[in-house]
Structure 1
Amino acid sequence: MTFAPTPSDILGLIGVSIILATYLALQLGKVAPTDWRYSAANGFGALLILVSLYFTFNLASFVIEIAWLAISLFGLFRAFKSRKSG
């Protein structure tokens, strides 16, 4: 059995890599959870996974990625709001 990743698989894997790298950076203290870059990277990773799910749908993955994207957008909103007022 061989596995030949499709372009959508590759996009999804890039998205997973971005989310995991961002989480690792958080755990290593390289990025703060309130930093806009943390939320932006998580949101972008979730978006890439959602693109891959368009081609190979999985309901559970879709739900978690929609939530991940929504939370990331909320984080971006808060980061930029505090940046303007600070």
Structure 2
Amino acid sequence: MHLDTANIVGLTGSALMVVAFAYSNLAKVMNLVLFNLLNLIGAIMLGASLLVHFNVASFALEIVWAVIALFGLGKALIARKRT
């Protein structure tokens, strides 16, 4: 594997998503804004790297992942405003 910019961006995005997953399993109290933001940024970074090294299945997954994270982020921000 050649460690070009696209791979570095993709690996960083993957790391953010793994951090979010670990956080969701280890945190005593979930901060849903943080959780969804990490997932959204990670999915965007992975999606960007896939534009260089394209894989349709992975790209489709990242689109769905980003949409769900965006929805969750919006829901968490609305809930935060209410409190």
> Is TM more than 0.5 here?
yes
Q: Which runs of 5+ in 2 are unaligned?
A: none
How far 1:4 moved relative to its partner? 2.4
Q: What is the root-mean-square deviation of aligned Cα atoms in Å?
A: 1.3
Are 1:25 and 1:31, in contact at CA under 8 Å, matched by a contact in 2? no
1:7 to 5, 8, 33: 5
Write 1 or 2 for the structure with the bigger share of helix: 2
What is the one-letter code of the residue matched to 1:79? A
Q: Deviations over 1:21-64 (max 9, x none)?
A: 110111112561x6201000000000000110010110000011
TM-score (norm 1): 0.89
Structure 1 unaligned runs (5+)?
Answer: none
> When the two structures are superposed, what TM-score results if normalisation uses the length of structure 2?
0.92
> Which amino acid in 1 is paired with 2:40?
G
Letter of the 2:73 partner, please give it: L
Q: 2:56 is matched with which residue: 37, 56, 59? A: 59
Whole-Å Cα distance in 1 between the matches of residues 37 and 10 of structure 2?
Answer: 16
Percent of counterpart pairs with the same letter?
34
Residues 48, 28 of structure 1: CA spacing in aligned structure 2 closer, same or farther, 3 A cutoff? same
Give 1 or 2 for the bigger CA radius of gyration: 1
- The answer on 1:76 being equivalent to 2:44 is no
Count of residue pairs brought into register by the alignment: 83
